[in-house]
Amino acid sequence: MFELFRLNYHNQYFAAFPDMESLSLAKRLWLESLSSFAPDVILRGAKRVIQQSDYLPTVHKMLVACEGDNRSHGLPDVHAAYVEACNAPSPKADQNWSHPAVYLAGKASDWYFLANNTERTALPVFSEHYKNYCDQVRKGIKLALPDRKALPEHIERPLSKDENLARLDALKKQIGLD
């Protein structure tokens, strides 16, 4: 990142970091400030800053560039995500989601809560969860939908009536209904 800045902002770079001590201090500060981002996210952010600015960036500008905006990460806006989560039929995990963050925010908000409360009540709850997942995505964390294990195509051998009754009795004993 600093090499990119040195090449692109030559005079500003050497004015900002005239000696090795100031460069070393700056690198330490930037490392601490950007440590929550993956290296490839930092590099993309640096390239984005170079394309958009004529001036050497501050740490704050780099943080903003590394985070990006929701649209650049394929994330819908919060209301569109809320509507998508509320309108998705069950089973929820089998739906074609615009982004895994929408599914995860819906699940964290509780599907029953979303389905049985007004938007005025449910949207703030969903919004908080969605914001947390969006923050993770902007920091370079890959979110994934849960794996769904399919049921077998067919059962090898159906149980006999006696086997079914034996399993039912065992289940009753297990939960204390005998």
The boundaries of the domain holding residue 42 are 2-68
């930037």: which residue's tokens? Answer: 30
In the chain, the largest separation of any two C-alpha atoms, in whole Å, equals: 87
Residue 175 in domain? no
pLDDT, residue 105, reads: 96
């969006």: which residue's tokens? Answer: 134
pLDDT, residue 41, reads: 81
Residue that finishes a domain, picked among 68, 101, 124: 68
Q: Based on the domain organization, do 111 and 126 belong to the same domain?
A: yes
Residues near 37 by Cβ (< 8 Å), separated by ≥ 6?
45, 66, 139, 140
d(CA 173, CA 105): 39
The helix/strand/coil state of 81 is helix
Residue 55 in domain? yes
Give, in degrees to the nearest 5, the angle at Cα 176 between 175 and 177.
100
| Tokens found for residue 121 | 């009540």
**Would the CA dihedral through 10, 15, 16, 20 be positive or negative?**
positive
Contact 148, 93 (CB under 8 A): yes
Q: How many domains does the chain have?
A: 2
Q: Based on the domain organization, do 64 and 79 belong to the same domain?
A: no
Q: Based on the domain organization, do 41 and 92 belong to the same domain?
A: no
Q: Based on the domain organization, do 19 and 33 belong to the same domain?
A: yes
Q: Based on the domain organization, do 23 and 38 belong to the same domain?
A: yes
Residue 165 Cα to chain centre, angstroms? 47
pLDDT, residue 72, reads: 73
pLDDT, residue 116, reads: 95
User: Is this prediction's pTM over 0.75?
Assistant: no
What does the pLDDT profile of the chain (178 residues) look like in tens digits? 999 999 999 999 999 999 999 999 999 999 999 988 788 888 988 998 999 999 999 999 998 887 776 677 788 999 999 999 999 998 898 889 999 999 999 999 999 999 999 999 999 999 999 999 998 887 778 998 888 777 777 767 878 899 999 999 999 999 988 6
Q: Based on the domain organization, do 44 and 102 belong to the same domain?
A: no
